[in-house]
Amino acid sequence: MIAVLQWATLTLCLMCAAWRLPAAFKGRNAGLFWAFLLLSVAVGLSLPSIYLPADALLGGRNLANLAVRFALYAIFYILAAKLAGAYRAAHGQRLIRGPVGVSVLVLIAAGTLVLFLLSDLPVSSTGLAAYSDQPTVRAYALAGRLYPAYAAACLLRPSAHAALTAGRRIERAAAALICSSFAMVLALTALQVASLPVFLLIDLFAYGAIVCMAVGLALVWISLWSTGNGSACRPLARE
């Protein structure tokens, strides 16, 4: 079941990246294209059939897993900054793009790198499953959840407010999906912090959050297209 969800999520992310490619070539909102492309990379590297040969090309010491972590940090920074502007969340925008947000990102990224270097990871293992008994690997996995959770917490309230108050039904639906994505990211982090053995639920939250975000952004684009970019979420259409 999880494998089917993984492949379906990867297909959706690749479709979204392809959808944004023409606009990116024209210099319009290239950030969303790169976010979807990085998301495709992150989801693809969660699949053993992609992760193992990709990591082998990098030396077979799980550098591909580290690449996934940093790709996710970039994705959440790009999307959170854009959504904060779209929902006119000035406070959220400061928490993402201001000194506090940048400091949080740098500290978490540095901690992630240090924990990775302290871990003994001699052989490729998808999701580092073969090394889950190492304290540094468990701390590394938890660190990888922190920045996405921080960005989700900054945008949860503005997206929920838009889901209730946006003028058009399609905009409310888009905001509700995006809000659901952020809520699942926070729930996923809480489960990992609590070390609960609910691996199926963790996977469902992880891939469900990606699907909700991708579909929500697609609905935003449809709204923009149908109104000639007159939507309240017009900032998402700009660079």
The predicted model gives 28-49 an average pLDDT of 84
Q: What is the pLDDT of residue 112?
A: 96
Contact 239/30 with Cβ under 8 angstroms?
Answer: yes
The predicted model gives 52-73 an average pLDDT of 93
Instruction: Please name which of 76, 80, 188, 74 lies closest in space to residue 141, comparing C-alpha atoms.
Output: 188
pTM score of the predicted model:
0.86
For 164-182, what is each residue's pLDDT tens digit?
987 788 888 989 999 999 9
CA pair distance 23, 38, nearest whole angstrom: 17
State both tokens at 139.
Answer: 């701390």
Contact 186/152 with Cβ under 8 angstroms?
Answer: yes
Q: Who's near 214: CB < 8 A, 6+ residues apart?
A: 12, 13, 16, 36, 39
Mean pLDDT rounded to a whole number for the chain = 86
For 122-135, what is each residue's pLDDT tens digit?
999 998 989 989 99
Angle, helices 30-44/48-57, rounded to nearest 10 degrees? 100
Which one has a higher pLDDT value, 70 or 222?
Answer: 70
DSSP letter (8 states) at residue 233? T
What percent of the chain stands above pLDDT 90? Answer: 42
Q: What angle do CA 39, 42, 44 make, to 5 degrees?
A: 105
The predicted model gives 61-70 an average pLDDT of 93
- pLDDT higher than threshold 70 for residue 226: no
